[in-house]
Chain A
Amino acid sequence: MDFTSLIDNLGSHTVDGLTKGAIYALVALGYTLVYGVLRLINFAHSEVFMVGTWTVFGVYAVFNATAASGVGTVILATSVALIAATLASAGTALAVERIAYRPLRKKNAPPLIFLITAIGCSLVLVELFGHVFRQFFGPPFGRALVSIPTLIDTKVLFTVGGVSITNIQLIVIFGAVLMMVLLDLFVNYSRLGRGVRAVAQDPDTAALMGVNQDRVIMLVFVLGGAMAGVAAMLYTLRYDITKFDIGFLIGVKAFTAAVLGGIGNLRGALVGGLLLGVVEVYSSTLFSSNWEDVTAFVVLIAVLMFRPTGILGESLGKARA
């Protein structure tokens, strides 16, 4: 128990935790959006994130961008990587929906079938990067950790009350919160968002009022995928690595964050993600980093004992409340 270390550096640990949590929150949005509309836990979402990180790696390779590159290359490579990762993740999410889930929906498959299919899709995508691509293209695909060039060096930008904020931390938190605000505005104030909320609140009635369910579902997967793509970009800026199964732990944590905040609730994902990130960093300082996953789930269980539907409660429809 290292209380002094935690207390002495409480500020910087908190910022650290918020950075981590912002990424969880962005990924959590994908779980929450799909759950809100389909009542389905899309376990393949973690791999949607994984595809994003590989896309960033690929774009950097194409631009030949390394730590030594000039400012122009860095800006070009990162912005192209951001767009490409967003598109790739959104595309992957959409492909999973079209190839795996929609045929099941048309046959009125029971919920468990969807769940098994989701796990299956996740495994397929993991093995695609961990095995199949290696057979065809060789390394860096495969089971080894792949490091992504550090294009933006971590620098302390400013210090507030003894807490140093780095440029990366600022980018990650600001980027994640910006995406979430945009998504929230989109869902609550646009015509398409209205359709999403209608389907979330009552799918059959929405269809009878002329809402095209399939289109809403596609939109939800694309939005969730895009958020995961942005999260992948931010993650690679912060951690500089990717791996065939990198999505697994992030996915589990993001799912936990979604449940913690109230799954199906967009703002809940933000609250749950940030809380989880902070708790993890605190506990790894207090005990050791081996304990951070344990603490994360202890917090989850503790919260669910008192608020079974999460901190802000369930339902995409209630996102405004």
Chain B
Amino acid sequence: MSELSLEKQTNATPDDEVVLEVDQVTLKFGGVVALNGVDFHIRRGEILGLIGPNGAGKTTCFNAMTGVYAPTSGNIRFLGKQVSGRQSHQITRMGIARTFQNIRLFPEMSALENVLVGCDARHKTSVLGALFRAYRVRPKPEELPEITGTGLTRAQSRLRRATAKVFGVSRHTLEERAGRKKAMELLRFVGIADRANDLARNLPYGYQRRLEIARAMATEPQLLCLDEPAAGFNPAEKESLMALIRRIRDRGLTVLLIEHDMKLVMGVTDRIVVLEFGQKIAEGLPSEVASNPKVIAAYLGEPDDAASA
């Protein structure tokens, strides 16, 4: 598992390094103000919860961070580099990945292929390179094809191994092989490897949600944004999802979690940012946020006689 996390483990980097900065971001659609001066940051290795009632601007905030929308004013910086103005695929390659509130897998591809699309974001071979396979590299011993099978198949695999030793392997082939290995490992990590070859649209709902997480992780992000990953889950499934999110963090990823379910958010996050009507109304530890009167009012509605609360 450690071969995957190219980034250093959490404990190896200073805890207060800021990964993502959302700096006074305002986003308007015509006359509608979706985000109004939203300002927060995410530190490396933490799990930040972004919560708020329906329509508070959580998903809009996500979309701005992944380049779907450009902020009207303000800045989003990832590892000190401006995010807005870049194309989606460039932002992904900078190291931000996301899942979707309404599942958006590639329905006609197998689970494995879905993850491979994510892996492809890290391939270095160009279109021409992939077509002509001219860039040969000398494979490391562990990258050589294994000798398997019996009889003729065994001889074939021996031959393949020998040619790889003598002529090298094209980088494209190596990357493709490594990608498959990584994709399978990720499917095992999220716990759906048993259905790797099923079409995504035929997977059960819970598997689809987990597949989205695996696909996003395949792009080797430093920041993983989960948009309501527990939507439609029963308590037991939520429990195992919380465990999964913690394991993701333990791999060295920083996690931004949008969630409706307060119990889940309280149980797994290190810090919480609360949005309401496109504005940040609170920020702090889960315990602080839970007792914040503004947050309680936003979630439960303000009582008529306590307008000042």
The interface of chain A, by Cβ under 8 A from chain B, is: 190-192, 194-195, 197-198, 201-202, 204-213, 215, 219, 315, 317-318, 320-321
Q: Are B117 and A211 in contact (CB under 8 A)?
A: yes
Q: Are A318 and B89 in contact (CB under 8 A)?
A: no
The segment out of B43-51, B74-82, B98-106, B135-143 that lies at the interface is B98-106
Given contacts A210-B118, A211-B117, contact A205 B92 (CB under 8 A): no
Which residue of chain B is the closest to A190 with respect to CB atoms? Answer: B130
Q: Are B107 and A204 in contact (CB under 8 A)?
A: no
Q: Are B219 and A210 in contact (CB under 8 A)?
A: yes
Between A and B, 28 residue pairs with Cβ closer than 8 Å are A192-B127, A192-B130, A192-B131, A194-B113, A194-B120, A195-B120, A197-B106, A197-B108, A197-B109, A201-B109, A204-B104, A206-B106, A207-B88, A208-B88, A208-B89, A209-B97, A209-B118, A209-B121, A209-B215, A209-B219, A210-B89, A210-B118, A210-B120, A211-B117, A213-B87, A213-B89, A215-B127, A315-B108
Interface flag for B93 (CB, 8 Å): yes
Measured in the bound complex, the distance between the Cα atoms of B216 and A315 in whole Å is: 24
Minimum Cβ distance to chain A for residue B218 (Å): 8
Sample of 11 further A-B pairs with CB below 8 A, known A211-B120, A219-B127, A321-B108? A191-B130, A204-B104, A209-B121, A209-B215, A209-B216, A209-B219, A210-B118, A210-B120, A210-B219, A211-B117, A317-B108
Measured in the bound complex, the distance between the Cα atoms of B212 and A202 in whole Å is: 14
Q: Are A320 and B120 in contact (CB under 8 A)?
A: no
Minimum Cβ distance to chain A for residue B2 (Å): 23
Interface flag for B185 (CB, 8 Å): no
A-B contact count (CB 8 A): 84
Output the residue of B66, B88, B121, B215 with the most chain A CB within 10 A. Answer: B88
Instruction: Give the contacting residue for A205; candidates B100, B127, B172, B179; CB below 8 A.
Output: B100
| Contact partners of A191 in chain B: CB under 8 A | 116, 120, 123, 130, 172, 176, 179
| Contact partners of B66 in chain A: CB under 8 A | 208
Q: Contact flags (1/0) for B108-134 with A, using CB distance below 8 Å?
A: 110001001110111100010011000
| Contact partners of A211 in chain B: CB under 8 A | 89, 117, 120-121
Q: Are A317 and B109 in contact (CB under 8 A)?
A: yes
| Contact partners of A318 in chain B: CB under 8 A | 108
Minimum Cβ distance to chain B for residue A314 (Å): 11
Q: Are B68 and A212 in contact (CB under 8 A)?
A: no
The interface of chain B, by Cβ under 8 A from chain A, is: 66, 68, 87-89, 92-93, 97-98, 100, 104-109, 113, 116-118, 120-123, 127, 130-131, 172, 176, 179, 215-216, 219
Measured in the bound complex, the distance between the Cα atoms of B89 and A205 in whole Å is: 10
Measured in the bound complex, the distance between the Cα atoms of B122 and A212 in whole Å is: 12
Measured in the bound complex, the distance between the Cα atoms of B127 and A215 in whole Å is: 9
Measured in the bound complex, the distance between the Cα atoms of B200 and A209 in whole Å is: 16
Measured in the bound complex, the distance between the Cα atoms of B121 and A201 in whole Å is: 17
Output the residue of B89, B113, B121, B179 with the most chain A CB within 10 A. Answer: B89
Minimum Cβ distance to chain A for residue B172 (Å): 7
Which residue of chain B is the closest to A318 with respect to CB atoms? Answer: B108
Q: Are B106 and A202 in contact (CB under 8 A)?
A: yes
| Contact partners of A317 in chain B: CB under 8 A | 106-109
| Contact partners of A195 in chain B: CB under 8 A | 117, 120
Q: Are B108 and A201 in contact (CB under 8 A)?
A: yes
Minimum Cβ distance to chain B for residue A188 (Å): 10
Binding site secondary structure of chain A = helix
Minimum Cβ distance to chain B for residue A184 (Å): 15
Which residue of chain A is the closest to B200 with respect to CB atoms? Answer: A201
Output the residue of A195, A205, A211 with the most chain B CB within 10 A. Answer: A205
Q: Are A210 and B92 in contact (CB under 8 A)?
A: yes
Which residue of chain B is the closest to A210 with respect to CB atoms? Answer: B121
Which residue of chain B is the closest to A317 with respect to CB atoms? Answer: B108
| Contact partners of A197 in chain B: CB under 8 A | 106, 108-109
Measured in the bound complex, the distance between the Cα atoms of B93 and A315 in whole Å is: 28
Output the residue of A201, A202, A210 with the most chain B CB within 10 A. Answer: A210
| Contact partners of B92 in chain A: CB under 8 A | 207-210
Minimum Cβ distance to chain A for residue B169 (Å): 15
Which residue of chain A is the closest to B120 with respect to CB atoms? Answer: A191
Q: Are B120 and A205 in contact (CB under 8 A)?
A: no
Q: Are A209 and B68 in contact (CB under 8 A)?
A: no
Q: Are A320 and B89 in contact (CB under 8 A)?
A: no
Measured in the bound complex, the distance between the Cα atoms of B127 and A212 in whole Å is: 11
Which residue of chain A is the closest to B88 with respect to CB atoms? Answer: A207
Minimum Cβ distance to chain B for residue A219 (Å): 6
Measured in the bound complex, the distance between the Cα atoms of B108 and A321 in whole Å is: 9
Q: Are A201 and B118 in contact (CB under 8 A)?
A: no
Minimum Cβ distance to chain B for residue A214 (Å): 8
| Contact partners of B172 in chain A: CB under 8 A | 191
Q: Are A194 and B117 in contact (CB under 8 A)?
A: yes
Instruction: Give the contacting residue for A209; candidates B117, B123, B176; CB below 8 A.
Output: B117
| Contact partners of B127 in chain A: CB under 8 A | 192, 215, 219
| Contact partners of A205 in chain B: CB under 8 A | 100, 104-106
Nearest 4 pairs between A and B by C-beta? A210-B121, A207-B88, A317-B108, A210-B92
Measured in the bound complex, the distance between the Cα atoms of B107 and A202 in whole Å is: 9
| Contact partners of B87 in chain A: CB under 8 A | 207, 213
| Contact partners of A194 in chain B: CB under 8 A | 109, 113, 116-117, 120
Q: Are B89 and A212 in contact (CB under 8 A)?
A: yes
| Contact partners of A192 in chain B: CB under 8 A | 127, 130-131
Instruction: Give the contacting residue for B104; candidates A202, A212, A215, A320; CB below 8 A.
Output: A202
Q: Are A210 and B93 in contact (CB under 8 A)?
A: yes
Measured in the bound complex, the distance between the Cα atoms of B121 and A321 in whole Å is: 26
Output the residue of A201, A202, A206, A219 with the most chain B CB within 10 A. Answer: A201
Minimum Cβ distance to chain B for residue A187 (Å): 12
Measured in the bound complex, the distance between the Cα atoms of B131 and A190 in whole Å is: 10
| Contact partners of B97 in chain A: CB under 8 A | 208-209
